[in-house]
Amino acid sequence: MAKLALEKHPRLTRPRGPVLVVIMDGVGLGCGDAYDAVAQANMPTLRALLADRARSLRLKAHGTAVGLPSDDDMGNSEVGHNALGSGRIVAQGAGLVDGALADGTIFQGTGFQALREAFTAGGTFHVIGLLSDGGVHSRLDQIVGVVEGAAARGAKRIRLHVLADGRDVPDGSFTTYLSELEGRLGALGARGVDARIASGGGRMLVTMDRYESDWRIVERGYRAHVHGDARRFPSASAAAAAFRAETPGISDQQLPAFVVEEGGSPVGVINDGDAVLFANFRGDRALEISRAFEDDAFDKFDRGRRPRVVYAGMMEYDGDLHVPKLSLVAPPQLERTSGEYLAAMGVRTFACSETQKYGHVTYFWNGNRSGRFDDALETYLEIPSNAPPFEAKPAMKADEIASATCEAIASGRFDLVRVNFANGDMVGHTGELAATIKGCEAVDAALARLLRAIEVSGGIAIVTADHGNADDMALRDKHGAPLKDAQGRVLPRTSHTLAPVPFCITGPGLAASTTLRADLAVPGLANVAATVMNLLGFAAPADYQPTLLAG
């Protein structure tokens, strides 16, 4: 492959200071009512940027603008950072799985065939995954499609290990998804397939940790799924009901681990010779449990009996490390990302976030690629996150990130600086309005510090977000009115939104005449990469989405 190169921009040159890209994760532009934490927060820095109409826009950050199947699909941090970094709209995980199920190719590859060899030789087919239709990490219809496809191809004993959502879908909806799944499994039972739910728990407490934030989460899941080691119930529905009765108001995402038993024994432990599929298509919360199954030198917790199984992911979760070794659907091909181009052109880059979003501003930004393109040019800094619950400390690590980034700006060592503030997303997912307001205010205070550093350095700042979340903290009816429970309390929203996100440019490195385009029908996140390249003095590749700069 020829060395990547960019042409010089015909009129723009690199500013004296760096180009700073700030991603305010989960900070969308909502309806502005009392349940819009972004609107309710004291955010004078963001407000001032948005007031400059010539240098601010609203970007589409969901649906087809970020490669998802339809505009009913909420954006998320993974696809948002893919679009921000790659400059193109590429079909993402959910759509790729949909296509593979529709044409049957999901059952023809080496990944499924290896699973099939195991379950047709007498092994149980286990499926672990997030049970919802949020479309961010997984989808119920895809899980059902794989399960029914496996049954049609010889699986006689199937066990589901289900993780409750409550973040990307309305909290409390787990029982609805359980009911739907149990109905589909019952239909398989009528055809002679022994298909049952075996274990589960809430996604923020069981199995789905990311970025090695808390391996105890993975350990709880591993012990429940593999060993049947968790509190036992006659059914998953009984487990959810008991937990809610014992802890009123408990969120789906915080449900403890559980195991389904019959006759005093778990109905679905994982044994030698079994086939195991992790059904999430998104990689960040799938990597650690995959390592627990596959790594020979694993040392994060005592796995106890380690069954010899065939393990696969719905997709490959890390393309460089090849985790897992087997997968059912190939991931999106994101080559020639902006990071790769800029490294080839000698651009010195600093990227920083706290643990919860570190992989987004590095791995996902770089097109699902681990590591750096050029170790000599790129510096990545991870600020360790606090342990959840995030509503307890809604400022998270905004101040520490700002301090490290201000130091990087002042050092003169970098041409491009990119940073992610996790507060709007991670605190927004808790459903706690007051805490989310505080989280947004912490981001704005940090943003003010960064803009002062850019002013001193002579640089340029881009301020944007990857998707909406904190902009709507209430579930709503079809008319937009907040929904309430029997006691008159507004039902909290914990999921992402379909809101547009801000895009603002500022800084002394901009020419006085610099404005943003008003002629793009639907500007989106994928337009940001070309804009960054232009501000660094380069023309963007011809196949990138067009720049947001006018003129």
Q: Is the dihedral of CA 31, 34, 38, 44 positive or negative?
A: positive
Asked about 77 being catalytic, the answer comes back as yes
Same domain (yes/no): 220, 349? no
Question: How confident is the model over 297-301, as a mean pLDDT?
Answer: 95
Question: How many Å apart are CA 29 and CA 91, to the nearest integer?
Answer: 25
- Non-local (6+) Cβ contacts of 328 within 8 A are 97, 100, 106, 109, 111, 112, 146, 277, 312, 313, 314, 315
Same domain (yes/no): 344, 239? no
Total-model pTM: 0.79
Question: How many Å apart are CA 503 and CA 59, to the nearest integer?
Answer: 7
Same domain (yes/no): 378, 527? yes
Same domain (yes/no): 77, 198? no
Q: Is the dihedral of CA 209, 332, 3, 408 positive or negative?
A: negative
Q: Which residue, 306, 303, 377, 295, is CA-closest to 339?
A: 377
pLDDT of residue 130: 98
Same domain (yes/no): 311, 414? no
E-strand stretches of 372-441: 378-383, 416-421
Is residue 4, in this structure, part of any structural domain at all?
A: no
Query: At 319, is the pLDDT very low, low, confident or very high (cuts 50, 70, 90)?
Result: low
Of 303, 329, 355, the one marking the end of a domain is: 329
Instruction: Indicate if the pLDDT at residue 320 is higher than 60.
Output: no
Is residue 542, in this structure, part of any structural domain at all?
A: no
Instruction: Indicate if the pLDDT at residue 533 is higher than 90.
Output: yes
Same domain (yes/no): 513, 396? yes
Same domain (yes/no): 299, 430? no
Same domain (yes/no): 527, 423? yes
Question: How many Å apart are CA 334 and CA 314, to the nearest integer?
Answer: 18
Q: 80-91: per-residue pLDDT in tens?
A: 999 999 999 998
Same domain (yes/no): 116, 75? no
Is residue 519, in this structure, part of any structural domain at all?
A: yes
Query: At 2, is the pLDDT very low, low, confident or very high (cuts 50, 70, 90)?
Result: low
Same domain (yes/no): 88, 98? no
- The CATH number of the domain holding residue 50 is 3.40.720.10
Same domain (yes/no): 321, 341? no
Query: At 69, is the pLDDT very low, low, confident or very high (cuts 50, 70, 90)?
Result: confident
Q: 119-140: per-residue pLDDT in tens?
A: 999 999 999 999 999 988 999 9
Range(s) of the domain holding residue 219: 94-329
Is residue 8, in this structure, part of any structural domain at all?
A: no
Is residue 550, in this structure, part of any structural domain at all?
A: no
Q: Which of 56, 70, 77, 199 is catalytic?
A: 77
Report the number of distinct structural domains present in the chain.
2
Is residue 5, in this structure, part of any structural domain at all?
A: no
Of 281, 301, 329, the one marking the end of a domain is: 329
- The CATH number of the domain holding residue 279 is 3.40.1450.10
Same domain (yes/no): 383, 424? yes
